[in-house]
Chain A
Amino acid sequence: MNINRREFLPLAGAGLLAGVAGFEGGKASPKNRRGGSSAVTVVKAKSYSDDLAQQMLRGIRECGLDVRGQKVLLKPNLVEFDPATCINTEVSVVAAALEVFQSLGAAEVVIGEGPGHRRDTYALAEMARYRSEIPKFDSRFVDLNRDDVSSVQGFADRGEIYLPNSALRADLIVSLAKMKTHHWAGATLSMKNFFGLVPGCVYGWPKNELHQVGIDRSIVELSRIFRRSFAIVDGIVGMEGNGPIQGTPKPVGVLVMGRDLPAVDATCCRIMGIDPGRVQYLQMASDNLGITEEARIQQRGESLREVRTNFDLIAPFRQYRLA
């Protein structure tokens, strides 16, 4: 067994162990099992210079999303910057989403992120070209690490969690995630992207509280709190290997969209050649937060067979490979 620092931290607290024992957010009980099916749309986009807005519009319409009059928060995955790889949601994807949600009649569209590692969020946004390529970026952007906050009752075994008002007041949060492997969770997609909604000014840099609670459990809890959401996963160029920071670029050429985040993430896993049934947070979310079974996902757009490309997995996750 090879556990590193972040993995053993949850094991180190007796109180947390007790909390895990009482957790009811895992597999759905019969009374809260979610029926029906969910639509997920996969559209091809060979490069970031494609007409991404057009492709997004297609996906959003396929999923039947209506944002007229709503306050929309676009939540990209902006973590760190390394010119040698592709850590963040590409700026052209964020710019396209801004254009699309404005065109669909949203009352307000803002961009918000709370990077987990770097304290100077605007400098990070500049390195990722967000400030130079997204019109009026500074006036549209909220640093969620340093926003005003409110308490939300009930987060795992914690009595409460403080969350940014800009996220709590949004009618819809659009998770503009990056398709990446993750060296502790297996894959980081639209649900894991919600870690950036947790304010550093309360929990620090990194947001160690989420690792204390448990990464998988925190992913599920945040997805439970922010149910009014939509996912657009940037899989045009993803990251394989030692993600989410130190992996290598993996061209896939897709955008994956849907209103059911577990369904979107399960679909992304299948595209990446990862068995979603092995990804713990998807197991925990399955049925009570969304649908992950392939047979119950209404696959629209490109077929999975057409776009699947196996991502390189580091040793602890090689057994996650989809047959």
Chain B
Amino acid sequence: MSDLYLDVRLDALRRTQNPDGGWGYFPGKQSWLEPTAYAALALHGEPAADRAWTLVKSWQSPDGSWKPSAEVQIANWGTALCVTIASVRGEFDDSFRKGVDWLLGSDGNESNMLARAFAKVGLIHPERNLSLTGWPWKPNSASWVEPTAHSLIALKQASAKVSNDRLRERVRVGEAQLLDVRSDDGGWNYGSRAALGVNLPSYPETTGLALLGLQGRTDITESLEVAGRMLRANPSPLAKAWLTIALRLHGVDAPELSNEWTPDIMITAVEALSCGNYKFFKTGGQA
């Protein structure tokens, strides 16, 4: 079943690649960085992945960040995915180093000095530790679980080539931030554990992603059990795929996926990664 499941998805990706080398979120749509990055990882080693990487590299800005598509001129969290691809491909060139530097300088603005001062005098009750900083979806916004998880993966992998105190500190604080926003039920909501004092439930997809960012930790046993329960509860296809990747990379058995294929390129690519190249998200512990 696993081979067929994977083959169906890889074939779909090969068929739906745009002439520019990228993939849209859906077949026939404009190329976007996110589905292109996941598809390139799923098809790593094939010419299609090389064409995709050529396109994506052309989207890097002089400051080292990547924009999310040819049309959108805003730096984007997908920079983390591009740094991961560069590591997977062994391309530790200037582009890679600039991407790493941009990630090291990117942080959520909820922890800026003004916010911390407001919290200190009790003007705000942020329901999280403002001394801990993660990564935002885009500059000048708050940090959230998904971009933080991908940035941790990228930086931990990059640490083999760019190991310095700043990187190690960002990884340490980023992991602490993820643990700080963990929901009371042991999983993760999209970014906060509570709103207006009311606990927020965890979601399966963000729980899987947070666990990817926390590889190497020994204090997340309860969360891994939560992830296992979430997977058995038959969540969405995307959530199944991320939970499967997370559990496998933490050395926990995950059942073979068997859901039907749907023409959603991003989900197709992540599903393919869950039973194929999921090792590309593997990291050690703290850098």
- Chain A positions near chain B (C-beta within 8 angstroms): 1-9, 11-15, 117-120, 122-124, 143, 146-151, 162, 183, 201-206, 208-209, 211-212, 242, 246, 314
B252 within 8 A of A: no
B144 within 8 A of A: yes
B174 within 8 A of A: no
Which residue of chain A lies nearest to B78 when distances are taken between CB atoms in the complex?
A201
Given known pairs A5-B142, A9-B110, A204-B137, the reply for A148 and B29 (CB within 8 Å) is yes
Contacting A at CB under 8 A, from B192-248, are 192, 195-196, 198, 203, 205, 235-239
Contacts of B175 in A (CB 8 A): none
Task: Among A1, A5, A15, A146, point to the contact of B123 (Cβ < 8 A).
Answer: A1
Given known pairs A5-B192, A13-B109, A122-B264, the reply for A205 and B146 (CB within 8 Å) is yes
Q: Are A5 and B24 in touch, CB under 8 angstroms?
A: no
Most buried by A among B24, B109, B146: B109
Q: Are B114 and A12 in touch, CB under 8 angstroms?
A: yes
Contacts of A246 in B (CB 8 A): 195, 198
Q: Are B30 and A148 in touch, CB under 8 angstroms?
A: yes
Cα distance A6–B34 in the bound complex, in angstroms: 26
Which 3 pairs across A and B sit closest by C-beta, in order of nearness? A204-B137, A123-B236, A146-B25
Which residue of chain A lies nearest to B31 when distances are taken between CB atoms in the complex?
A148
Q: List 17 A-B contacts (CB under 8 A).
A: A9-B109, A9-B110, A12-B110, A13-B112, A117-B203, A118-B236, A123-B236, A146-B25, A150-B71, A151-B71, A201-B32, A201-B69, A203-B141, A205-B190, A209-B141, A212-B140, A314-B196
Q: Are B127 and A4 in touch, CB under 8 angstroms?
A: yes
Q: What is the CB-to-nearest-CB distance from A9 to chain B, in angstroms, rounded to a whole number?
A: 6
B2 within 8 A of A: no
Given known pairs A122-B262, A204-B147, A205-B190, the reply for A13 and B124 (CB within 8 Å) is no
Which residue of chain B lies nearest to A148 when distances are taken between CB atoms in the complex?
B30
Contacts of B144 in A (CB 8 A): 204-206, 208
Cα distance A183–B238 in the bound complex, in angstroms: 29
Which residue of chain B lies nearest to A127 when distances are taken between CB atoms in the complex?
B236
Q: Are B110 and A5 in touch, CB under 8 angstroms?
A: yes
Which residue of chain B lies nearest to A165 when distances are taken between CB atoms in the complex?
B30
Contacts of A242 in B (CB 8 A): 196, 198
Which residue of chain B lies nearest to A14 when distances are taken between CB atoms in the complex?
B114
Contacts of B138 in A (CB 8 A): 202-204, 209
Given known pairs A4-B124, A123-B236, A148-B30, the reply for A202 and B72 (CB within 8 Å) is yes
Contacting A at CB under 8 A, from B141-157, are 141-142, 144, 146-147
- Chain B positions near chain A (C-beta within 8 angstroms): 24-26, 29-30, 32, 34, 68-69, 71-72, 74, 76-77, 109-110, 112, 114-115, 118, 123-128, 136-138, 140-142, 144, 146-147, 190-192, 195-196, 198, 203, 205, 235-239, 262, 264, 266-267
16 extra interchain contacts, Cβ-Cβ under 8 A, other than A3-B125, A5-B124, A5-B128? A4-B126, A8-B118, A9-B115, A119-B205, A123-B239, A124-B236, A146-B32, A148-B24, A202-B72, A202-B74, A202-B138, A204-B77, A208-B136, A208-B137, A212-B142, A246-B195
Contacts of B77 in A (CB 8 A): 204
Which residue of chain B lies nearest to A17 when distances are taken between CB atoms in the complex?
B114
Q: What is the CB-to-nearest-CB distance from B16 to chain A, in angstroms, rounded to a whole number?
A: 14
Cα distance A201–B190 in the bound complex, in angstroms: 15
Cα distance A120–B238 in the bound complex, in angstroms: 6
Given known pairs A120-B238, A209-B141, the reply for A5 and B127 (CB within 8 Å) is yes
Contacts of B147 in A (CB 8 A): 204
Cα distance A117–B239 in the bound complex, in angstroms: 13
Task: Among B25, B76, B142, B235, point to the contact of A9 (Cβ < 8 A).
Answer: B142
Q: Are B239 and A212 in touch, CB under 8 angstroms?
A: no
Task: Among B34, B115, B125, B141, point to the contact of A2 (Cβ < 8 A).
Answer: B125
Cα distance A208–B262 in the bound complex, in angstroms: 29
Cα distance A124–B239 in the bound complex, in angstroms: 12
Q: Are B141 and A123 in touch, CB under 8 angstroms?
A: no
Task: Among A124, A151, A183, point to the contact of B196 (Cβ < 8 A).
Answer: A183
Q: Are B190 and A117 in touch, CB under 8 angstroms?
A: yes
Cα distance A13–B25 in the bound complex, in angstroms: 33
Cα distance A8–B142 in the bound complex, in angstroms: 11
Cα distance A100–B283 in the bound complex, in angstroms: 54
Q: What is the CB-to-nearest-CB distance from B256 to chain A, in angstroms, rounded to a whole number?
A: 20
Which residue of chain A lies nearest to B114 when distances are taken between CB atoms in the complex?
A12
Q: Are B26 and A146 in touch, CB under 8 angstroms?
A: yes
Cα distance A3–B125 in the bound complex, in angstroms: 6
Cα distance A147–B24 in the bound complex, in angstroms: 9
Task: Among B30, B34, B195, point to the contact of A183 (Cβ < 8 A).
Answer: B195
Q: Are B124 and A8 in touch, CB under 8 angstroms?
A: yes
Q: Are B238 and A119 in touch, CB under 8 angstroms?
A: yes
Cα distance A48–B43 in the bound complex, in angstroms: 47
Which residue of chain B lies nearest to A209 when distances are taken between CB atoms in the complex?
B141
Most buried by B among A14, A123, A150, A314: A123
Q: What is the CB-to-nearest-CB distance from A211 to chain B, in angstroms, rounded to a whole number?
A: 8
Q: Are B72 and A204 in touch, CB under 8 angstroms?
A: no
Q: What is the CB-to-nearest-CB distance from A139 to chain B, in angstroms, rounded to a whole number?
A: 11
Task: Among B112, B115, B137, point to the contact of A203 (Cβ < 8 A).
Answer: B137
